[in-house]
Structure 1
Amino acid sequence: MNGWTPRTWTGLAAVSGLLAVAFGAFAAHGVTDPKPVAWLHTGSQYQMAHALAVFAAFGLHRAGARGMGLVAGLFLFGTLIFAGSLYAMALGAPRILGAITPIGGLSFMIGWALLAWRAFTLRDQA
């Protein structure tokens, strides 16, 4: 992922934010069944938070903070699996797909843990 350009990172984060808004709006206006509404709402909340986190992690990566490209990648992967599986189920995919949702959540947690570890082990610049 180190070879990805700023345009790629920014574009993926922006598309992720766009999809979060779209699925959130669909939950609010296009679905009436409570379970799919909840899945769409949860997916869009997590996706939006992590779209913004990708921007932040990539900014830190560009500033020279080691490991932030991996953090951004973990957030994008987590979004794909976590929110993607919830969206798919809300749109009619088999509920067994929910078995992979925690993999996305784990990816989020590993990304946040790596971010925290890097922050606490970074040398202060004077």
Structure 2
Amino acid sequence: MSTQRTFILLAGLFALTAVILGAFGAHALQSRLESADTQATWDTAVNYQMWHALALLTLANYTLSGRTFKVALYCLSLGIPLFSGSLYWLALDGPRWLGPITPLGGLLFIIGWASVTLAAFKMRNE
């Protein structure tokens, strides 16, 4: 499977699960997400997952290549489950040791976006 196809597939799966988890949080989990804090945590996870899935889909369709661009794709792909996944678990009263995983996902987002910027900076004007 090509790298491009892999990241388009991942983007689709991340976007699909963001929609499902958003609906699940709004309807089926209303009693579990009683406090405004837990609902906000769940909503943050869904929002970051969807925005980064859409970004991944967009980036996967670019014809850019190179190590910096691949770093961006991998960082965004790994950042989604670490950041959003840990927030979903925390909102559902998951183990507190997941708390430090959230910033790790955020760091991967930062590295991913910095890599996108660097890859674009390295592009040659044609």
Equivalent residues in 2 for 1:5-84 (5 A)? 5-29=3-27, 30-31=29-30, 32-60=34-62, 63-66=63-66, 67-84=68-85
Q: Does 1:90 align with 2:88?
A: no
1:54-108 deviations in whole A, cap 9, x for unaligned? 1122112xx1332322211110100010000001112221233111100000000
Q: Does 1:113 align with 2:114?
A: yes
Farther-moved stretch of structure 1 (32-41 vs 76-85): 32-41
Q: Distance in 2 between matches of 1:10 and 1:109?
A: 20
Q: Distance in 2 between matches of 1:13 and 1:46?
A: 13
* TM-score of the superposed pair, with normalisation by structure 2: 0.85
Q: Distance in 2 between matches of 1:50 and 1:43?
A: 11
Farther-moved stretch of structure 1 (114-123 vs 98-107): 114-123
- How many residues align structurally? 121
Residue 33 of structure 1 aligns to which amino acid in structure 2? S
Residue 73 of structure 1 aligns to which amino acid in structure 2? Y
Conserved in 1, the CA contact under 8 Å of 2:8 and 2:61? no
Q: Distance in 1 between matches of 2:23 and 2:8?
A: 23
Residue 113 of structure 2 aligns to which amino acid in structure 1? W
State the 1:4 CA deviation: 4.5
Aligned to 2:61, the other structure's residue is in SS state: helix
* TM-score of the superposed pair, with normalisation by structure 1: 0.85
Conserved in 2, the CA contact under 8 Å of 1:53 and 1:72? no
Conserved in 1, the CA contact under 8 Å of 2:87 and 2:102? yes
Structure 1 ranges of 4+ moved more than 6 A: none
Higher RCO, 1 or 2 (CA under 8 Å, sep at least 6)? 2
Quote the RMSD (CA, aligned, Å).
1.7
Q: Distance in 2 between matches of 1:10 and 1:76?
A: 11
Consecutive unaligned residues of structure 1, counting only runs of 5 or more, are none
Aligned to 2:40, the other structure's residue is in SS state: helix
Consecutive unaligned residues of structure 2, counting only runs of 5 or more, are none
